[in-house]
Amino acid sequence: MLASSAHVVRFPFRRPRAACRGLRALTGRTAPTPAYRAAVLGRILLAALGGYAVAALATGLLALVLPMPRSEAVTTATLTSFAVMVAVVVAVFAARSLARATALVLGLALPLAGGLWLAGAFTG
């Protein structure tokens, strides 16, 4: 249950609650602290850059390894890529903490990059 004045939804995780409570005691209302703002900015950057990176790596890898003619593999990989990015963005904001979200993005991006390296995409 949210505080009764909360018509406005604030991002729920990793909020420095003690700081907010202190602020509320002082001013009677809660305002986002710098730490809260930094955490939100971190998620936004991770979602945008990490989401695009994972989608781009997946597209590049699937285009090489899908068992179908080259043009069909490229089309399949490219058409799917936007769903991949949306899924990563949603997962980044659903994760319990920024650290977990970062681990998730790296856990997807690194194996994909490794697969691309094995498939010879970086050797020209």
Partner 1 sequence: MRQGFRQSMAWLHAWSGLLVGWVLFAVFVTGTASFYRSEISQWMRPELVATETDPGRAAERGAAYLQRQMPDAMGWFIELPTPEKPAIAVMWWKSMEGPFHQALLDPETGEPTSARATKGGDFLYRFHYELSMPPMLGRWIVGACTLVMLVALVSGIVTHRRIFADFFTFRRDRSTQRGWLDAHNVAGVLGLPFHLMIAYTGLTLLATLYMPWGVRTAYKGDEIRYFVEAGLMPDLRWAAGKPGTLTPLGPVVAASVARGGKAPEGLSVWNPGDANATVVAIFEEPHGLSHHHPQIAFDGQTGAVLGQAGAVGAATGTGTVMAGLHMGHFAGPALRVLFFLCGLMGAATVATGLVLWAVARAPKGAAPAGFGLRLVRALNLGTIAGLPAGVAAYFLANRLLPVGLSERASWEIGAFFAIWGLVALVGALRPGPRAWSQALGLVGALFLSVPPVAALTTGLNLPGGALRFLGFDLMMLALGLGFVVAARKAAARVGAPLRRPARDLTGEEALRA
Residue tagged 């997962």 (tokens) = 91
58: closest CA among 115, 107, 120? 115
Give the containing element (helix H, strand E) for 73. Answer: helix 70-94
- The minimum distance between CB 24 and partner 1, in angstroms, equals 16
Contact call for residues 10 and 40 (beta carbons, < 8 A) = no
From residue 22 to residue 61, the character string flagging contacts with partner 1 as x (rule: CB under 8 A) and all else as - is ---------------------------------xxx-xxx
> Of the two residues 20 and 89, which places its CB atom closer to partner 1 in the complex?
89
Q: Which of 68, 103, 110, 118 binds partner 1 (CB under 8 A)?
A: 68
Nearest CB to partner 1, comparing residues 18 and 29 = 29
Binding of partner 1 by 9 (CB under 8 A): yes
Cα gap 39→27, rounded to integer Å = 23
Query: 């993005």: which residue's tokens?
Result: 105
75 binds partner 1 (CB under 8 A): yes
**CA triple 115-84-95, angle to 5 deg:** 100
Query: Which residues of the shown chain bind partner 1 in the complex (CB under 8 A)?
Result: 1-2, 4-13, 55-57, 59-64, 68-79, 81-83, 85-86, 89-90, 93-94, 96, 116, 119, 121
